[in-house]
Amino acid sequence: MTSVRKPMIEDMQVRNFSPLSQTVYLHHVSLFACHFGKSPALLGPEEIRAYQVYLTNEKKLATSTLRVAGGPLRFLYKVTLKRKWAMEEIPVPKKPQTLPVVMSPEEVAHFQTPRHRKAGSLRLQTQKADRFRSAPHH
């Protein structure tokens, strides 16, 4: 990956990527290249798709991890290698929809104990005091 590494690092630096983001991007591109044993510059849409299928079906990665792994590949192919097909060929996995957490009647009752009511009332009084302090004086 050395022929691709330096220009990719420079592309990330001029875009002010944090050192941690640069490390993560290089790591994921390196994993992709190692999976095929070739430079990513020699790989194309078919290999990207095969790699995503591998990560999904064999590695059983979570959607969020798949999204993190795809970002560096999109960056590499679109920005560094200037491939026209990059964005269309590297799909972003859909986020799974989750339901909101709903408290059980027992949990609601727990928060209605005198101790919790007092803490809540102190929080409200503090908010009132903050509003009073920020009110314009005439």
**Closest C-alpha among 22, 6, 3 to residue 72:** 22
More confident residue, 72 or 94: 72
**What is the rounded distance in angstroms from the CA atom of residue 76 to the CA atom of residue 86?**
9
| Per-residue pLDDT, 126 | 53
**What is the rounded distance in angstroms from the CA atom of residue 56 to the CA atom of residue 127?**
47
pTM over 0.75: no
pLDDT tens-digit readout, 95-138: 767 778 887 888 777 777 666 555 555 455 555 555 555 555 55
**What is the rounded distance in angstroms from the CA atom of residue 93 to the CA atom of residue 71?**
11
* DSSP notation for 59-126: S---HHHHHHHHHHHHHIIIIIS--TTHHHHSPPPPPPP-PPP---HHHHHHTTSHHHHHHHHHHHHH
pLDDT tens-digit readout, 12-60: 999 999 999 999 999 999 999 999 999 999 999 999 999 999 999 999 9
